[in-house]
Structure 1
Amino acid sequence: MSVLQPRDTVSDFVLDRLMEWGVDTVFGYPGDGIGAFDGALARADHDDLPLRYIRPTHEEICGLMATAYAKWTGQLGVCTATSSPGAFHMLNGLYDAKMDNQPVVAVIGQQNLASLGSGYQQESNLERTFADVGAYVQTIVTPEQAQVVVDRACRTALTHRQPCVIVIPHDVQAMTREEPPQRMEVSRSSSAPTSTAIAPPPDELRRAADVLNAGKKVAFLVGAGALGATDEVLALAEKTGAGITTALRGKDVVPGDVPYNTEQLGLLGTLPSYKMMQECDTLLMIGSNYPYGGYLPATGQARGVQIDLRPSQLGVRYPMEVTLWGDAKTTLQALLPLVEQTADTSFQDTTAERMREWEGVLAALAQNEAEPINPRQVFHEMNERLPAGAVVTCDAGSTADWYGHHVRLKRGMRGDLSGRLATMLAAMPYAVAAKFALPGRPVVCTIGDGAFQMLGMNELITVKKYQHLWENKQLVVLVLHNDDLTQVSWEMRTEDGNPRWTGSQAVESMDYAAFAETLGFQGLKVTDPSKVGEAWDAAFAHDGVTVLDVHTDKNVPPLPPHISFKFAANMAEALLKGDPDEWDVVKSSAKALVTQKAAEVKEALHLGDDDDDA
Structure 2
Amino acid sequence: MAETVGDYILQRLRDWHVDQVFGYPGDGINGIVAAFGKAGNRPRFVQSRHEEMSAFQAVGYAKFSDSPGVCLATSGPGAVHLLNGLYDAKLDHVPVVAIVGQTARTARGGSYQQEVDLQALVKDVASEYSVEVTVAEQLPNALDRAFRTAIARSAPTAVIIPNDVQEEAYQPPKHEFKYVPSSRPGLASPVLTPPPGEIERAAEVLNAGQKVAILIGQGARHATAEVRQVAELTGAGVAKALLGKDVLADDLPYVTGSIGLLGTRPSYELMRDCDTLLIIGSNFPYSQFLPEYGKARAVQIDVDGTRIGMRYPTEVNLVGDSHATLRALLPLLRRKDDRSWRDKIEKDVVAWWRTMEHQAMVTADPINPMRIVHELSLRAPDNLIVTADSGSSTNWYARNLRMRGRMRGSLSGTLATMGAGVPYAIGAKFAHPDRPVVALVGDGAMQMNGLAELITIARYQDLWPDRRCVVCVFHNNDLNQVTWELRAMGGAPKFEESQTLPDVNYAAFAASLGLLALNVDTPDDLGPAWDQALGADRPTVLDVRCDAEIPPIPPHATAEQLKSVTEAILKGDPKGARMAYEGIKTKLAELLP
TMscore range, shorter length: over 0.9
In the alignment, what sits opposite 2:124? 132
In the alignment, what sits opposite 1:525? 519
User: What code does the residue aligned with 1:15 have?
Assistant: L
Deviation of 1:197 (Å): 2.6
In the alignment, what sits opposite 1:581? 575
In the alignment, what sits opposite 2:237? 243
Residues 363-400 of structure 1: CA deviation (Å, up to 9, x unaligned): 11111111111011111111101112011111110111
User: What code does the residue aligned with 1:148 have?
Assistant: N
In the alignment, what sits opposite 1:458? 452
User: What code does the residue aligned with 1:125 have?
Assistant: D
Structure 1 residues 209, 455: CA separation in 2 closer, same or farther (over 3 Å shift)? same
User: What code does the residue aligned with 2:99 have?
Assistant: V
In the alignment, what sits opposite 2:272? 278
Residues 39-78 of structure 1: CA deviation (Å, up to 9, x unaligned): 12222225xx4x2221111100000010111100110110
Residues 205-230 of structure 1: CA deviation (Å, up to 9, x unaligned): 22212211111111111101111221
Deviation of 1:195 (Å): 1.3
> Partners of 1:22 and 1:74 in 2: how far apart?
13
Deviation of 1:354 (Å): 0.3
> Partners of 2:331 and 2:20 in 1: how far apart?
40
1:164 paired with 2:150, answer no
State which of 323, 348, 356 in structure 1 corresponds to 2:317: 323
State which of 25, 38, 48 in structure 2 corresponds to 1:43: 38
Deviation of 1:553 (Å): 0.3
Gaps of 5+ in 1: 600-614
Gaps of 5+ in 2: none
Residues 578-604 of structure 1: CA deviation (Å, up to 9, x unaligned): 1011221121011112222337xxxxx
Structure 1 residues 310, 129: CA separation in 2 closer, same or farther (over 3 Å shift)? same
Write out aligned runs for 1:48-87 (5 A): 49=42, 51-87=43-79
SS at match of 2:257: strand
SS at match of 1:492: helix
Residues 508-559 of structure 1: CA deviation (Å, up to 9, x unaligned): 1021111111111111111111211111122122121111111100000101
SS at match of 1:571: helix
User: What code does the residue aligned with 2:13 have?
Assistant: L
State which of 165, 172, 177 in structure 1 corresponds to 2:170: 177
User: What code does the residue aligned with 2:139 have?
Assistant: A
- Larger displacement relative to structure 2 (585-594 or 292-301): 585-594
Deviation of 1:83 (Å): 0.5
Residues 148-197 of structure 1: CA deviation (Å, up to 9, x unaligned): 11121111111111100000001111121122111221111223414133
In the alignment, what sits opposite 2:86? 94
Question: What value does the CA root-mean-square deviation take over the aligned residues?
Answer: 1.2
- Larger displacement relative to structure 2 (114-123 or 275-284): 114-123
In the alignment, what sits opposite 1:24? 19
> Partners of 1:563 and 1:381 in 2: how far apart?
25
- Larger displacement relative to structure 2 (183-192 or 234-243): 183-192
> Partners of 2:186 and 2:540 in 1: how far apart?
43
> Partners of 2:157 and 2:449 in 1: how far apart?
25
> Partners of 1:545 and 1:208 in 2: how far apart?
49
SS at match of 2:474: strand
User: What code does the residue aligned with 1:241 have?
Assistant: G
> Partners of 2:28 and 2:499 in 1: how far apart?
38
**Equivalent residues of 1:107, 1:165 under 8 A apart:** yes
Deviation of 1:266 (Å): 1.3
> Partners of 2:222 and 2:306 in 1: how far apart?
21
Structure 1 runs of 4+ with >3 Å offset: none
Structure 1 residues 201, 526: CA separation in 2 closer, same or farther (over 3 Å shift)? same
Write out aligned runs for 1:212-291 (5 A): 212-291=206-285
In the alignment, what sits opposite 2:441? 447
> Partners of 2:72 and 2:372 in 1: how far apart?
37
Residues 81-102 of structure 1: CA deviation (Å, up to 9, x unaligned): 0001001011000000000000
**Equivalent residues of 1:452, 1:479 under 8 A apart:** yes
SS at match of 2:222: coil
User: What code does the residue aligned with 2:95 have?
Assistant: P
SS at match of 1:440: coil
Deviation of 1:496 (Å): 1.1
In the alignment, what sits opposite 2:105? 113
Residues 405-462 of structure 1: CA deviation (Å, up to 9, x unaligned): 1101102111111100011111100111111101111111110111001110111111
State which of 322, 339, 355 in structure 2 corresponds to 1:345: 339
Write out aligned runs for 1:197-208 (5 A): 197-208=191-202
Deviation of 1:330 (Å): 2.0
- Larger displacement relative to structure 2 (32-41 or 61-70): 32-41
> Partners of 2:123 and 2:342 in 1: how far apart?
46
**Equivalent residues of 1:383, 1:408 under 8 A apart:** yes
Q: How many residues align?
A: 591
> Partners of 1:92 and 1:156 in 2: how far apart?
20
**Equivalent residues of 2:5, 2:170 under 8 A apart:** yes
Write out aligned runs for 1:403-552 (5 A): 403-552=397-546
Normalising by structure 1, we get a TM-score of 0.94
State which of 6, 29, 35 in structure 2 corresponds to 1:11: 6
SS at match of 1:180: coil
In the alignment, what sits opposite 2:376? 382
1:189 paired with 2:182, answer yes
User: What code does the residue aligned with 2:161 have?
Assistant: I
**Equivalent residues of 1:218, 1:282 under 8 A apart:** yes
> Partners of 1:347 and 1:447 in 2: how far apart?
38
> Partners of 1:227 and 1:242 in 2: how far apart?
18
User: What code does the residue aligned with 1:29 have?
Assistant: Y
Deviation of 1:143 (Å): 1.0
**Equivalent residues of 1:21, 1:193 under 8 A apart:** no
In the alignment, what sits opposite 1:308? 302
In the alignment, what sits opposite 1:604? none
In the alignment, what sits opposite 2:140? 147
SS at match of 2:426: helix
> Partners of 2:180 and 2:335 in 1: how far apart?
52
User: What code does the residue aligned with 1:232 have?
Assistant: E
**Equivalent residues of 1:442, 1:474 under 8 A apart:** yes
SS at match of 1:138: strand
> Partners of 2:155 and 2:277 in 1: how far apart?
27
User: What code does the residue aligned with 2:146 have?
Assistant: A
